[in-house]
Structure 1
Amino acid sequence: MSKEPFAIDEVFRRLRIATAGLAKAAMFDLRDRGFDTPFEQLVGSLISARTHDETTLTVCLRLFAVARTPAQMAALEESRIRELLRGTTFADVKARDLRELSRRIVEEHQGVVPNTLEGLTAFRGVGPKIAALTLAVGFGQPAIAVDIHVHRIVNRWGYVSTHSPEKTAEVLSETLPQHYWIEINERLVPFGKFICTGTRPKCSTCVLLSMCAQVGVLNPR
């Protein structure tokens, strides 16, 4: 079938409709529940690494019932943090990293979370995606957080042609209008989980089918 021109403004208009009733991406769900400070978003983003959103949300709510600030987190024993992180992947490592970054924020940054990519990635356990989520959702700064869903979908669209999330983030920073930098993760995570899935995406009922190049799609529904 012939395709319409790929118009990014129309894409986002349709994405908002398509994802309106779907479960939110974890960091945006936490934000909308009132856990929107830079520290809470940094902690949540670190917990979310290699962990399903549903588990991330449960674990974060349990942890934040006990500690919501760097000082409160740093005051906890690592074993207590590990206990509160039960259910997440790599709980031992994340407990260590959360306590350490909390201590450093208190001692080296006067309790204030750094608001730069360089400052955030200086903490052990914080990579570019975690830093980007913190900047975007916690600080409201234009930043592109690329996970497997964002990477897969923008390549399927034919909007980018890249082989890693890191390269996708780089290319998107050059091509995607800045006012969509935060929203792209908010929309594409649920869109990728429930519609544009990794295998057998639901192309036949997708609102973007008329514009999507369907790059690499072999067996759609």
Structure 2
Amino acid sequence: MTYEKYMGDFTVDDIKRIIDTLESIFQRRTFSHLSAYEVLVRTILSQRTRDENTDKATEELLSIYPTMEDIANAPVDEIAKLIKSAGFYNVKAKRIKEVSQILLEDYDGIVPDTVDELIKLPGVGRKTANCVLVFGFQKDAIPVDVHVHRISNRLGLVKTDEPELTEAVLCEMIPQEYWIPINDLMVQFGQNICKPISPRHDMCPFTDICKLYNS
């Protein structure tokens, strides 16, 4: 399957400009201090909450239960108390404990490094799986969250309705060497400039090529 009809009229040079410009504005976050398992836990915690809440919940959880075994054996209500700042803490506590148990029982305590295996874990979709690949294993992938999906469509990089299709189109049109930084840079861009409501056009460096701005 080709995705040409979902692609905007952007060249490789346009894409390189977008990445280079974002890298000049924002400092990339690598999370290299976290193991693949810790990245997985953090990404589950990050669902439907702000980064500062995610960071606080991750730090508090891992300070008390630092290993996969610790979390697998911890009482769910104790996990929930520690991650309360992340929101939806009862659901997330159950998921994190269950995922930890499955990894120990079925994967010998090793986090898989493929999307196909990661999405078998409860509560892990393609976005979470790709985040683990990028931030946990430094493997080429494009995690598409609400920011990446929104910005890609606003700019006109893609013409899509679903994040999974956005991922597929971006992977086809963007050279693989640029995949890893895209998520983090677009997330920061979406949080600070290309906001969901009232995007900051006055601060945007892409108004000359932005489909939304020029529509």
The corresponding residue for 1:131 is 129
Partner of 2:51: 53
Is 1:13 the equivalent of 2:20?
yes
Q: Report deviation, 1:216.
A: 8.4
Residue 143 of structure 1 aligns to which amino acid in structure 2?
Answer: A
2:147·2:186 contact (CA, 8 Å) conserved in 1? Answer: yes
Is the 2:80–2:89 contact (alpha carbons within 8 Å) kept by the matching residues of 1?
yes
Measure how far apart 1:189 and its partner are.
Answer: 0.5
Aligned residues: 205
After superposition, what is the alpha-carbon deviation per residue over 1:78-133, rounded to whole angstroms, capped at 9, x for unaligned? 11111111122221111111111111111211111111111111111111111110
Within a 5 Å distance, the mapping from 1:29-68 to structure 2 comes to 31=31, 34=33, 36-68=34-66
Q: What's the TM-score, normalizing by structure 2?
A: 0.89
One-letter amino acid of the structure 2 residue matched with residue 10 of structure 1? R
Contact 2:147/2:190 (CA < 8 Å) preserved in 1? yes
Which residue pairs with 1:192 in the alignment? 190
Residue number in structure 2 paired with 1:116: 114
Query: SS of the residue aligned with 1:204?
Result: coil
How many angstroms does 1:18 deviate by? 2.1
Task: Check 1:99–1:198 CA distance in 2 against 1; reply closer, same or farther (3 A cut).
Answer: same
Distance in 2 between the 1:131 and 1:205 partners?
Answer: 32
- Is the contact between residue 76 and residue 93 of structure 2 (CA under 8 Å) also seen in structure 1? yes
| Contact 2:151–2:190, Cα closer than 8 Å, also in 1 | yes
Question: Structure 1 CA distance, aligned partners of 2:84 and 2:92?
Answer: 11
CA distance in 2, matches of 1:51, 1:203: 25
Quote the RMSD (CA, aligned, Å): 1.9
Query: 1:18 touches 1:207 (CA, 8 Å); kept in 2?
Result: no
Measure, in 1, the Cα distance between the counterparts of 2:66 and 2:132: 15
Instruction: Kindly state the Cα deviation for residue 204 of structure 1 after the two structures are TM-superposed.
Output: 2.5
- Alpha-carbon shift at residue 42 of structure 1 (Å): 0.3
The Cα shift of 1:159 comes to: 0.8
- Which consecutive residues of structure 1, in runs of 5 or more, have no partner in the other structure? none
C-alpha distance in 1, partners of 2:79/2:198? 39
For 2:116, give the aligned amino acid: E
* Aligned-residue identity in percent: 35
TM-score under structure 1 normalisation? 0.86
SS in 2 for 1:182: helix
The residue number in structure 2 matching 1:172 is: 170
Letter in 2 for 1:72: D
Match for residue 92 of structure 1 among 59, 79, 90: 90
User: Structure 1 residues 113, 13: CA separation in 2 closer, same or farther (over 3 Å shift)?
Assistant: same
Show structure 2 runs of 5+ residues with no match.
1-9
Contact 1:121 1:128 in 2 (8 A): yes
SS of equivalent to 2:85: coil
Counterpart Cα distance in 1 of 2:188 and 2:163: 17
